[in-house]
Each structure stands twice: as structure tokens, then as C-alpha cells.
Amino acid sequence: MPESRSSFPWMKIQVTTVPDARLVATATRRVMRRPVLIARVTGWALLLLTASLLVVTGELEPMPLAGGALLALALPVFLHTSTARQAARSGRLTTYEISEQGLASSSAESRHAYTWKAFRSVERLSGQLLFGMGGARFVPVPTGGLSAAQIDQVLAAASAGGLRVG
């Protein structure tokens, strides 16, 4: 076992699976909550402004109407679908490795490795761990092939590494 830089005994956990579209959609909704809320509130504010202008001036202003509709309705759908599509793009067998160095994922097309410092948080969602990097960037790791003890070990390691665990 490699020597740990902290008092936490390190492990290497590996799980190989095909990304689950349902889990990726759940993770996407979780991560995109704030940007979608901002878009919706801004869109509805523009629609309210359009309605106010119509009442006051008697004229329908097409720009705030179109902008409000796009922000309130179309942009949230686009954000969800594009982020989920990007996260589950390969749909092929992916191997996730969690170790002292951090988290790595690899498939037949690519390999991505992140140190623990790249992450801000890790959340335990149903069927997955969601490693957040800030903004809309995240790495969902399915937990179907992990025991409860291994999941707890990963969460403890993340916490010991300074990540916010939720």
C-alpha cells in the first residue's frame, strides 16, 4: 500500500460500467439547478416587463417577449439536454479509479485524470457519487459495483482531502 500523505489509509477502488443515462440526467439536474433557476427568473422578469409595457403603452414589444420566452423556457431545456448528452456521450464501457492521487475515468476513446484538488465537493446521490468541480463541471461515478463500506471509504477520503461531502 502506498504511503499516505494524511492519516487516512489510502485505497484504490475501481469500478467498470456503462454510464446510466438516468443517473447522468439526475446528476445534470442537480448540478444545473442554479444556472437554470437564474435563466428562468430572468426570463419571467422579461415576460413581466413585456406585459407591463403592453398595459402601459398598448404595444407588444417583440424583443423582451422573445428574450423572456427563450430564457424562461428554451434555455433550461437546452442546458439540461446538452450537459446530460455531453456527460453520457460515449455510452460505452468506462472504468473509474479512485486512489490517493484522485479520480480517473477511462474508456476506449479517452482517459481523464483529476487530482483531489480539482474537486470542490462530492455528493452521494442515489446510485452514484457526484464529484463537483465548480460551475457545471462534474464527474458522476456510478456506485452499483461498490459496497457500502467502499462508498463510505471514498467519502471519508474525500473529506480528509478537504472536499465538502454531502
Instruction: Compute the distance between CA of residue 57 and CA of residue 39 in angstroms, rounded to an integer.
Output: 27
pTM of the model: 0.63
pLDDT at 7: 43
148 has a pLDDT exceeding 80: yes
Q: How many CB atoms lie within 10 A of CB 64?
A: 19
pLDDT confidence of residue 153 = 85
Count Cα atoms within 13 angstroms, Cβ side, for 137: 7
- Length of the chain (residues): 166
Count Cβ atoms within 10 A of the Cβ of residue 43 and give its class: 0-12 exposed, 13-18 middle, 19 or more buried: buried
Q: What percent of the chain has pLDDT over 70?
A: 87
Cβ(163)–Cβ(132) below 8 Å: no
Q: What is the pLDDT of residue 84?
A: 63
pLDDT of 20-73, one tens digit each? 777 777 777 777 778 888 888 999 999 999 999 888 988 888 888 888 888 888
